[in-house]
Structure 1
Amino acid sequence: MISENGGKYLVKLAKEAIKEYLETGEKITKGEDYPIELDEKLGVFVTLNKNNDLRGCIGYAEPIMSAIEATIDVAIAAAVNDPRFPQVSLDEFESIDLEVTVLTKPEMIIVAHYNQYFDEIEIGEDGLIIQKGYSRGLLLPQVATENRFNVEDFLEHTCMKAGISADSWMDESCDVYKFQGQIFK
């Protein structure tokens, strides 16, 4: 994972990326003076909250680009491309709280029986990805804690996020992955 210094840098970078995009429509580029550890390819999500309510959340679950490049991309996307919300306005931006979650690589949870998920998933530590066919849903680790989910609730809500029935996690054709995240605010 990354250092506290690296995480603080990503939060600052995400804010700068959103502000610049809202002001000019331009995407910033990474500077030259940044923690070198941020060149590592990592999954990254940026979450925007307003008055403690979700205002946008977009990310890359897989480590497809450097953490620094991913943060710029998903920060802008969380502000202007989350289909659940209208685009954040420049005036509104000042009242938005922002967090960056850096993810470990997702690992498939292999079980012989679906009841074993209860022993394999730790609330507050693990985030989930559930995939069935072309449907895929992801919930960050903090979602379970913030909503006081138990493991079954967490599995069901991740299925619903994927657009599949809540009990799909019990189906052998459904793949369940877990990952961990470092949250920086």
Structure 2
Amino acid sequence: MSYEQNIIEPSEISIDEGVFLVRLARKAIETYVIESRKIGLPDDTPEKLKRKGMAFVTIESVLKESKELRGCIGFLQPVAPLAETVINAAIAAATEDPRFPPLTYNELNNIVIEVSILSIPKPVRRIPDDIIIGKHGIIVMRGWYSGTLLPQVPIDYCWDVETFLAEGCLKAGMEPDCWLDRRTKLFVYEASIFYEESPRGAISHRNLIQEFKSKCKADYPYSK
């Protein structure tokens, strides 16, 4: 994997810029669902967010006491300005995730949106030692098979590294021990994650390490 220079990294995103991106994702989804059109970049888009970048948008349905995945799609290559990437990922998560039907107007008041800004993926040299839960997302590749899991996924389920790798293999459409095969390529990336606390509500930044310690009740870093 090779990328051009001047790609925006997640560590560069401020809380205000993260809030801007989540609200942009929300506007992109609502405009597309209601009016069947894609929005352009707003006039007040920060110049930094016009640099190329990678992002995923996750949509969750809010139930009485829990949340349920409703769509998640993103881009692992920096092919467009970050703000435009978020718009495209938001619309795709709402309408093109093959696991779900397109989002409907009646659902807009009962969803929360999460935007993950990704770093440039790097190859893993030592498997599983170089993979850290709470820090890394993974990309698993072999031939035509490919799949990724975001850094927050193992936190949500309190997976250890080997479970994370096995689930990544399954996501890529391969056997769960595919990561042991030398033909399999593994990459890691980091993310800065911003989310709505409630539908159209306050927007916060996720601290995965703190979530890990609180939810999973294990020492950090949790590498094995």
* TM-score normalised by the chain length of structure 2: 0.79
* Residues 22-101 of structure 1: pairs in structure 2 closer than 5 A: 22-51=33-62, 52-101=67-116
Q: Give the match's secondary structure for 1:117.
A: coil
Gaps of 5+ in 2: 1-9, 196-224
Percent identical across equivalent pairs?
Answer: 39
Amino acid at match of 1:37: K
Distance 2:153 2:160 in 1: 11
Query: Which whole-Å deviations, capped at 9, do the CAs of 1:14-42 have from their partners, x for residues lacking one?
Result: 00001000111100000111211101211
Query: Which whole-Å deviations, capped at 9, do the CAs of 1:37-84 have from their partners, x for residues lacking one?
Result: 101211100000113111000000122211101011010000011000
Q: Provide the residue aligned with 1:174 in structure 2.
A: 184
Runs of 4+ with >4 A deviation: none
Q: CA deviation at 1:118?
A: 2.7
Amino acid at match of 1:85: F
Distance 2:77 2:16 in 1: 22
* TM-score normalised by the chain length of structure 1: 0.95
Greater share of residues in helix: 1
Gaps of 5+ in 1: 111-115
Aligned residues: CA RMSD: 0.8
Query: Which whole-Å deviations, capped at 9, do the CAs of 1:124-169 have from their partners, x for residues lacking one?
Result: 1100000011100100000010011100000000000000000000
Between Structure 1 and Structure 2, how many residues are aligned?
A: 180
